[in-house]
Structure 1
Amino acid sequence: MRRISRRTALAGAAGTRLMGAETMQAPENRGSIRLGIIGAGARGQYVGGHMARDGRARVTAVCDLFDDRIEQAKKIVPGAGAAKVYKDYRQVLDDKEVDAVLIATPVYLHPEMFEAAVAAGKHVYCEKPAGMDVAGVQRLMQAGRKADPRKVIQFGFQQRFSPEYLKARELVAAGRLGELKILMSFWILGMSPRLAPPAAQPYPELPEEMRRVRLWTRWRELSGGDIVECDCHGLDTLNWFAGGHPVSALGKGGLRYPIFYGNITSDHYDIIFSYPNGAEGYLISARAACGFRDVREQFYGSKGVLETARTYYRLHGPVAAARLANDDQLEDTSMIEKFSSRREITIDAVEAFFTAIAEGQQRNMSQDAGLSTLTSILGRMAFELKREVTWEEMLRTG
């Protein structure tokens, strides 16, 4: 498979979500942190919009390979209309009027751009994951270890900054579940599958090389596949709650529906991860299988069960031994504690990023982000090889 040159794809579209309507209260010292957006696709516009609305930041630079993405960002992201425009991310990093950067580009570019951003002395908010293969992730982690400790380095694993997830993690650490033995991540995304080929290929006006960059999620060598590009969120949460990464993985997956552009080899996964303390983590993933969405985690212990999601957490205890009118009606019989999220958790992550910068807090997420991405790659290898794969074997592929 022909690889796309680094020069061709210095920046590109990223993400699939549209701009939301959530707002954040603007603190004082408005606009003192100068922000450069590298990658002005849907995700760059979404996260960049929340960053611009934080109040402590102002957008001074926007960079993307595609003119229409830049124009969209200038209209959607507050203040971006007056920002300088670049086509080469290195120009953003050379700009002395940029203090912090958002990297929201195709996954395979993350290691290169992160390494350069760290070397340029910027605060970095990099979208997940840390890379598409072991070599790239190791490159990013090595750069992270060399980073100036005064610079804030954060990744788009939003769950780690949600008050609800943080509270749930405290419950586990405090022993409210007993010994944690089973961890589950459900990553079921909506969208109905396409059953017939489209009348024409997308973006027919673009050369094939540029079209692949524009539609990078459809190519395994650009995105890492769905398990790396998307399911890494849930696996990061499992690692976080387990207190470390797994030692091996065993699983399966495949394509239930045909693809008509790209080379992605699976639209569903069922992976079992073995952790050092004997706990097992399960990833149950499917996309474009039906118009249904179910994204959450569950944690099982001897004393209870905890369920987390982007909109709530729920703590359940043992059900009474007495026969119930409906044995499946657990919420009223086993619920101990429930709390709903007050806002979209990306806002919590953005707020934490700028608070750390403004208050001089030390934060470097590069190692945790790298380990969670490697966990996703471990799961991908288990599916592809159709056997158990150890952590050490996975690392040797780098």
Structure 2
Amino acid sequence: MLEQPSRRSFMKASTLAATTAAIATQVSRTAHAAGSDEIRVVLIGCGGRGTGAASNIMETKGNIKLVAVADAFPGRAASCIKQLERKYKDKVDVAADRVFTGLDAYKNAIDVDCDLVVIATPPAFKPQQFEYAVSRGRHIFSEKPVASDVAGVRRFMKAVEESKKKNLMVGIGLQRRHENQYKETIQRIHDGAIGDVICQRVYWNGGGIWWKGREQAANLMTPPEGLPKGMKVEPSEMAFQCNNWYHFNWLSGDQIVEQHIHNLDVGCWVKGEYPVECNGMGGRGQRLDGDATKSQIFDHTFCEYTFSDGTKMFSQGRHLANSWTNVSEFAHGSKGTADPSGRIMGENEFTFDKQRDQQGHQQEQHDLIEALMRGEIYNEGEYGAKSTFTAILGREACYSGQLIKWDELWEKGKDICPGIDSYTLDSDPPTMPGPTGEYPVPVPGEYTPYA
């Protein structure tokens, strides 16, 4: 049985180093000296964030070569390659036989001779893809969150332990940990600038997200060379959901997991540990006018996380039009208050006045590629998994209306996408529409968080 992760994973004295999870050790597979060696990259997931991550990597000082891509949909893979070739022609070498499509395409792509695998797929698929990349001895950058359910986090954590044994680089897309304004401010908090941290407030309040219809899924399933005249592609239910992945719990984990994880991660970083329990509430006030034929996720959540010393972290996450928008974090201490993104108020006032890292997505790739070039590695997999689990803890509290304890959820939490390794675009997804076309929506008081 996989050992349960400790909630206390950071020591104040080593926080600055932990922000990059850097333990300088020799890279076992490749040592890229002064940028002279080519770093061969494979991209798994060719959507906006995947294409963006590949672009960020190509903007680094590394001698980068994209050599293979994989995506569920032929149209998306072709669009990604075209976009990257237009801007980074010499850094893209993806022959037709190294473009792989389908839900199992990641294996073929990872099997291509490469140094670094970039995983930017919906959260549900990341554990199996990460696990396979580790088994093949690849260095990895994985976007956040790393899973959509408890079973997925357990699987990811087990693979993280294996990656450490193999001395593999693991970067996680929680980019605030690479931004200098966050690093310096949180170091000061850990050094006592605001005294004891009494409580925190974290927010991801926005106006909404995209929604994609079935016609777009059909277009993406059409091969780049097109179809015979008069022939159309009818998207399966799985294809529709995978293309519209944010709106399905099994794929995205809901807004608190997919987006609000950033702010929750900062709160745990500030505190130096993970919560022991959470209670919360939430629902669907506006989600696509309440139409459950289009989406099953909540559009607002509120959580009260409790740490081992009894202190609290209050969390707001929502997608509500014409409402207060705010994406931020605040820590309140016995000697002052801090905005971890660069300001401390109170006895030890501080304002970060150096050059800010405005593009965290870019900075995290600078850090990763430069480390590979130096022949050093770091591994961010553990905090990626634990921050994902923190977000899932909050979601399950909001869905159920119950007080959920970390250890109990870790032991008994559900697998909401069973058998995921065998899924194809022709499979029935784990969530299917009912007779009237509506998808099941969690109801507090009725939903159970346990298997």
TM range (shorter): 0.7 to 0.9
How far is the alpha carbon of 1:31 from its aligned partner?
A: 6.7
* Residues 117 and 139 in structure 2, CA contact (< 8 A), matched pair in contact too: yes
Q: Distance in 1 between matches of 2:272 and 2:58?
A: 33
Contact 2:248 2:297 in 1 (8 A): no
Give the deviation of 1:30 after TM superposition.
6.1
Whether the aligned pair in 1 keeps the contact of 2:278 and 2:403 (CA below 8 Å) is yes
Higher RCO structure (Cα 8 Å, ≥6 apart): 2
Aligned to 1:40: 46
1:67 is displaced (CA, Å) by 2.0
Amino acid across the alignment from 1:371: K
Alignment of 1:105-124 (within 5 A): 105-124=121-140
Matched, 1:375 2:404: no
Structure 2 residue corresponding to 1:65, chosen from 55, 72, 89? 72
RMSD: 2.3
1:397, distance to aligned residue in structure 2 (A): 2.4
Q: 1:315 aligns with which of 344, 348, 353?
A: 344
Aligned partner of 2:186 among 151, 164, 169: 169
Q: Which residue number in structure 1 is paired with residue 226 of structure 2?
A: none
The reply to whether residue 136 of structure 1 matches residue 152 of structure 2 is yes
Q: 2:305 aligns with which of 273, 295, 298?
A: 273
Greater Cα offset, 283-292 or 35-44: 283-292
Following superposition, the deviation at residue 50 of structure 1 comes to 0.6
C-alpha distance after superposition, 1:295-341 (max 9, x if no partner)? 111011111111134xxx222126xxxxxxxxxxxxxxx96424462
Q: Which amino acid aligns with 2:201?
A: M
CA distance in 2, matches of 1:53, 1:86: 25
Structure 2 equivalent of residue 15 of structure 1: none
Cα distance change on mapping 1:253 and 1:316 into 2, 3 Å: same
Cα contact 2:207–2:323 (8 A) shared by 1:
yes
- Name the TM-score, length of structure 1 as normaliser: 0.82
Give the distance between the partners of 2:345 and 2:264, measured in 1 at CA: 22
Aligned to 1:301: 333
1:146 aligned counterpart, secondary structure = helix
- 1:13 match: none
What amino acid does structure 1 have at the position aligned with 2:52?
Y
Give the 3-state SS of the residue equivalent to 1:47 in structure 2.
helix
> Which one-letter code corresponds to 1:154 in the other structure?
G
Equivalent pairs counted in the alignment come to 349
Q: 1:262, CA displacement in angstroms? A: 4.0
CA contact (8 A) 2:148 2:253 kept: yes
Identity of aligned residues (%): 26
TM, length-normalised to structure 2: 0.73
On the 8 A contact 1:193/1:290 being kept in 2, the answer is no
What do the CA deviations read for 1:149-207 (whole angstroms, capped 9, x no partner)?
4311111111111111111111111100100111111101234899xxx9x75527323
In structure 2, what residue type is equivalent to 1:116?
Y
> Which residue of 67, 79, 82 corresponds with 2:93?
82
Distance 1:82 1:279, change over 3 A: same
Q: Does the 8 Å CA contact 1:37/1:63 hold for their aligned counterparts? A: yes
- Specify the SS of the correspondent of 2:68: strand
Which residue type is aligned with residue 99 of structure 2? V
Segment of structure 1 superposing worse, 356-365 or 293-302: 356-365
SS of residue in 2 equivalent to 1:203 = helix
How far did 1:292 drift? 6.1
Judging changes above 3 Å, is the alpha-carbon distance between structure 1 residues 120 and 289 closer, same or farther for their aligned structure 2 residues? same
- Pick closer, same or farther for the CA change 1:48–1:59 going to 2, 3 Å: same
Of 218, 227, 234, 2:263 maps to: 234
Q: What do the CA deviations read for 1:85-120 (whole angstroms, capped 9, x no partner)? A: 222111121112x11011001110010000000111
Contact 1:297 1:308 in 2 (8 A): yes
Unaligned runs of 5+ in 1: 1-26, 319-333
Q: Which residue of 1 aligns with 2:401?
A: 386
Q: Among residues 55, 58, 80, which one is paired with 1:52 in the alignment? A: 58
Instruction: Determine the C-alpha separation between the residues in 1 that align with 2:198 and 2:238.
Output: 46
